[in-house]
Structure 1
Amino acid sequence: MSVADKLLLGANTAMIGMGIVFMVLVVLWAIIAAESKLISVFSERLKKPEIADKPAYLKEADLERKGITSGECVVTGGVDDETLALIMTVVSNSADISLNRLQLRSIKAL
């Protein structure tokens, strides 16, 4: 075997080796891309539904209702009276409890 034949055989072997490595890399890329899409599909199915920013529709208020509407609530974190009233209104509306029956013991700003 001459030197030229040995060089051609070495070049041929190197090209086949690089081709095999390239093909394995393409297969690995395809596997990773498929797993990524599969994981994203499953994570979207298991994802909790997000609450959209929908306006809160209040029922008609009974302005003639009488009852005890006073009490004490410990407020920490600089929550003012308007915010406290808003929180009580939202809790009352979502829990379907009238404001005169609602008792908040403490509210802490996060």
Structure 2
Amino acid sequence: YDGFFGPGTGSFLIFLFIRFFGFDFLHASAAAKVVNMTTNLAALGYFIPSGHFLPQVAVVMACANVLGSLLGTHLALRHGSRFVRIVFLCVVSAFIVKFAHDTFA
């Protein structure tokens, strides 16, 4: 279901880790990344053998993911859980506005 929810999966996981496991935003975000990576590897295990895999696109996306993760990790460790919470809420708010615009426009 990770691909079905798309970028919302990480947000759902963060909310779940905070609500049900008592994580703070920093640790919930890190745990969500691990779960997302695992589901992405499982998807590769399905799509590569079935021939639905575009290596040129995958390499570019993987590089962007690694760079974004490195930057995000650096910022989270430098600024702490409060910073992660604020950025998270800003990003989720932007997604809500975008989805509302796409739905009603």
- When normalised by structure 1's length, the TM-score is 0.25
Identify, as 1 or 2, the structure richer in strand. Answer: 1
- When normalised by structure 2's length, the TM-score is 0.26
Q: Which has the larger Rg?
A: 1
